[in-house]
Structure 1
Amino acid sequence: MAFHDLPHTSRPRERLLQHGAAALGDVELLALLLRTGTAGRNVLVMAQDVLDACQGLAGLLHADARTLGQIKGLGGTAKRAELLAVMELARRAMAQQLQQRTLLNHPALVANYLQLHLGHLPHECFAVLFLDSQHQLIQLETLFRGTLNQTSVYPREVALRALHHHAASVVLAHNHPSGQVQPSSADIALTRQLQQALSLLDIRVLDHIIVARGKSLSMAEQGLMPAA
């Protein structure tokens, strides 16, 4: 069922134009992108099914073409391509914002950006935000991928990438697939190890952010950063 078959008061397009995009829920916004449902399922029902299959917007933002193709109604290429394009635009827009702003002044934006990249993953990944002398983003790189419980991080590789980007400072980040964001003793020890290695190159470690689905923790904000 398409939008024109829905009752007028239920049409997301009309509500968006009248009240603004913020007035719409996740299902309605997604329905605008999908445009049509399938036989026996109107577009709002289909949008809800997609969100359920992806475990919410965070999962949808990171779904690949193969994953989307397994969802009923997204077997065709057109809708999958449009969703993937919108998701990539969202990531690029946020990266552009960070490249134009001082990261230390926008901790929520940094956390949201890391959520987009790491929060949904079922395995641990370790990433680094490389910053210039004004604490603006040069590049985010995911450097190491581990199991559900552990990631092997090599300070030499972090240092090489920091030198490659001519970074003046870095923000470390990794995810906890368990859903808990409290740092472990190993996380704190790793932070200290990287601080020591990068300090020899006059590169500061400003923070270590841990993300899980829908939440994050800044070790610097919590006073958990080891003394340099």
Structure 2
Amino acid sequence: MSNSKLKAGEVAGTYHVVEPLTEADIINLAKGFARRKLARGCKITQPSQAFEHLRLLLQDYEHEVFSVLFLDTQHRVIRFEEMFRGTIDTSSVYPREVLKAALTYNAAAVILVHNHPSGDPEPSDSDKRITQRLKEALGMMDIRVIDHVVVGSEGYTSFAETGYL
């Protein structure tokens, strides 16, 4: 669906609907806006800025998806990448591949994010273990793990906010 069904409003960030929209159209538009908020060069001054966008992009998957938001030294987005796909309740995450991507993008920091298809964003023990392994691996190259966010239809959990990180 294109943005032809919308027309920019007079105030920045506002739009007028010029054609009827389906629920699917609205969801696709929202995901497009979320991707733009996480586009290259956008500055993330607080991880909470990214939470709702990440939630919107990942909450509807029927399988786990582990993604990384790569940031520069000023916490501007370099790239948002879905790195690993799993099953309904687990995803294999390989620290070597995350480190390799972070070095390729010359990232100074990362925000880790994955979804829980069950809807419950409570981190598992496995989530906590992989976060620690990633923090250690990336830390050896002076790449900071700012947060790990678990998203679900019931909300999100921030490792930084809850003290897990």
| Alpha carbons 2:149, 2:159 under 8 Å: kept | yes
The structure with more radius of gyration: 1
Aligned to 1:100: 42
Pairing 1:164-179 to 2, within 5 Å after superposition:
164-179=104-119
Normalising by structure 1, what TM-score?
0.60
C-alpha change, 1:184 and 1:89, in structure 2 (3 Å) is: closer
* Number of matched pairs: 154
Contact preservation (8 Å) 2:68, 2:111: yes
Alpha-carbon distance change, 192 to 92 in structure 1, aligned in 2, over 3 angstroms = closer
Distance in 2, matches of 1:99 and 1:216, equals 24
For residues 140 and 119 of structure 1, the distance between their equivalents in structure 2, rounded to whole angstroms, comes to 16
| Percent of paired sites with the same residue | 38
For 2:5, the equivalent position in structure 1 comes to none
Root-mean-square deviation (CA), in Å? 2.5
- Distance in structure 1 (CA, Å) of the matches to 2:151 and 2:77: 18
Cα distance in 2 between the residues matched to 1:149 and 1:100: 31
Distance between the aligned counterparts of 1:179 and 1:155, measured in 2? 25
- Aligned positions of 1:20-31 closer than 5 A: none
SS in 2 for 1:220: helix
Equivalent in the alignment of 1:72: none
Residues 69-92 of structure 1: per-residue CA shift (max 9 Å, x gap): xxxxxxxxxxxxxxxxx4564244
Unpaired stretches in structure 1, ≥5 consecutive residues: 1-15, 23-28, 36-46, 62-85
Query: CA offsets, 1:125-167, max 9 Å, x none?
Result: 0000111011111101000000001100001100100000000
Query: 2:6: which partner in 1?
Result: none
In structure 2, the partner of 1:161 is 101
Higher fraction of helix: 1
Partner of 1:150: 90
Aligned counterparts of 2:56 and 2:35: Cα–Cα separation in 1: 11
User: 2:33 matched to 1:90?
Assistant: yes
Which one is further off, 113-122 or 151-160? 113-122
Which gives a bigger RCO, structure 1 or 2 (Cα 8 Å, sep 6+)? Answer: 2
Q: How does 1:53-92 map to 2 (within 5 A)?
A: 60-61=27-28, 86=29, 89-92=32-35
Mapped partners of 2:102, 2:50: distance in 1: 19
Q: Deviations over 1:4-27 (max 9, x none)?
A: xxxxxxxxxxxx99xxx69xxxxx
Cα distance in 2 for residues equivalent to 1:120 and 1:88: 11
Amino acid at match of 2:141: L
Q: Secondary structure at the match of 2:145?
A: strand
**Aligned match of 1:189 in 129, 135, 139?**
129
